Structure formats: C-alpha cells, structure tokens
C-alpha cells in the first residue's frame, strides 16, 4: 500500500463517500484516501498516519463543521505541517473565511459545493503537482 495519503474532512458522510468515489476513480490506488467526520477525528487520523510514516499530501476540508470552522482547522494544519496542501470545500464559507485561509493556511484552492467532479480532480491534480515542484 502507498505511503502517501489524501485526507477529507466533512461532517456529512455522503460528501465523504462522494469524494472517495471520485478521487479513487481518477487516482486509483496511487494514494490512500482517509476520511474524518470532525476536526477532532481528523487530528486522530493525522496522528495515526504520522505514526505509520504515511505522508499526508492534501487535506480537503469542509468549512461549516461542529466544533471548529474549516479555515481555522486548515490554518492549524498549515502551522504544524506547512508542506500539506490545503483545500477548502464548502457551500457556506464566506469571503472572509476564504481569505483568512488564503492568507494564513496557504490555501491552494476553494471549491464551492455542490462541486463539479472535473473541478475537484483538477484541484487535487494541481495540488499534487505543487508538491512535486
């Protein structure tokens, strides 16, 4: 199994299943796909992957979640793991939150919900290319 992962964080399971299906269809088994339904669960996944020496390449996070907003989560991720590519996926994020993530989380992209599969794949692909630079 690969030692590189993409983590998706969203409090709606159906969103996570859609992301899984779309990414695995396009990227196959080149990456591990990990999912969390809350920020707390996401940090557990990050810790577990780190212990297993699996590199998280990209985190795709919803904005409106219980406990912590996605922009705040991605800022914290960026502070602790500056090489992880951050993507905000939301139907409700306001411009201030998106700008906050751009400035403080080195936001790679914002994808509005409902998203288009081609847009998602393009954003993931361009994020992966950024890692290879």
pLDDT tens digits, residue range 35-54? 999 999 999 999 999 999 99
What is the count of structural domains for the chain?
A: 1
Query: pLDDT value at position 133?
Result: 64
List 111's β-bridge partners, or say none.
89
pLDDT tens digits, residue range 7-26? 999 999 999 999 999 999 99
pLDDT tens digits, residue range 52-81? 999 999 999 999 998 999 999 999 999 999
Report CA torsion sign: 122, 127, 128, 129: positive
Q: Are 70 and 62 in contact (CB under 8 A)?
A: yes
User: Domain of 55?
Assistant: 4-132
**Residue 17: CA atoms inside 13 Å, Cβ hemisphere, count?**
3
Q: What is the CATH number of the domain that holds 71?
A: 3.40.50.2300
Confidence bin at 93 (pLDDT 50/70/90): confident
Q: Are 49 and 21 in contact (CB under 8 A)?
A: no
The tokens describing 96, both together, are: 């201030």
Query: pLDDT value at position 92?
Result: 87
pLDDT tens digits, residue range 98-116? 999 999 999 999 999 999 9
- Range list of H helices, 6-89: 13-27, 39-51, 70-80
């Amino acid at each position: 199994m690969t030692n590189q992962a993409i983590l998706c964080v969203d409090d709606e399971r159906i969103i996570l299943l859609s992301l899984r299906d779309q990414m695995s269809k396009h990227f196959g088994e080149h990456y591990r796909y990990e999912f969390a339904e809350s920020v707390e669960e996401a940090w557990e996944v990050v810790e577990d992957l780190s212990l297993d020496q699996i590199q998280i390449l990209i985190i795709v996070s919803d904005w409106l979640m219980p406990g912590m907003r996605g922009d705040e989560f991605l800022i914290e991720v960026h502070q602790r793991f500056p090489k992880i590519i951050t993507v905000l996926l939301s139907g409700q994020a306001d411009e201030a939150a998106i700008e906050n993530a751009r400035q403080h989380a080195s936001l790679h992209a914002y994808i509005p919900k409902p998203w288009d599969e081609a847009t998602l794949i393009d954003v993931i692909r361009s994020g992966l290319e950024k890692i290879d630079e």
